[in-house]
């Protein structure tokens, strides 16, 4: 069980290259859109078969922006990226796991050592 909230209460595209997601525990995750695109969890980008085939994101270059997004049920978001990719379903658990802030990166490093 996670020790942090994976319930979002707000999402804002703050500029063409940045998305801010606010969680129920008031934590704010600020994502660079290129990095978010590079971390797309879909089978096309991760290679399918649990990532055993390899990734398929090395061709992606800046600038990448998010044109729009859609909620997927009560558990995820799907982003419409400027490179026309729309296949990734980013679960809230995954988005919180990849939060780039110093606090979350530190927690992730502790958990994976």
pLDDT value, residue 104:
86
Distance CA 7, CA 100 (A): 17
State the average pLDDT over residues 43-72. 80
Confidence class of residue 113 from pLDDT cuts 50, 70 and 90? very low
Q: How many CA atoms lie within 13 A of 46 on its CB side?
A: 14
In CATH, the architecture of 8-111 is: 2-Layer Sandwich (3.30)
Whether 82 shows a pLDDT value over 90: the answer reads yes
Are the CB atoms for 56 and 47 separated by under 8 Å?
yes
Domain ranges of the chain: 8-111
């Amino acid at each position: 069980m996670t020790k942090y909230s994976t319930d979002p209460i707000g999402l804002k595209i703050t500029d063409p290259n940045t998305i801010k997601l606010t969680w129920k525990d008031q934590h704010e995750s600020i994502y660079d859109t290129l990095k978010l695109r590079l971390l797309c969890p879909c089978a096309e980008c991760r290679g399918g078969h649990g990532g055993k085939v390899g990734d398929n994101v090395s061709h992606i270059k800046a600038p990448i922006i998010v044109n729009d997004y859609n909620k997927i049920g009560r558990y995820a978001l799907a982003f419409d990226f400027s490179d026309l990719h729309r296949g990734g379903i980013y679960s809230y658990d995954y988005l919180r796991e990849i939060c780039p802030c110093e606090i979350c990166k530190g927690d992730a490093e502790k958990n994976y050592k």
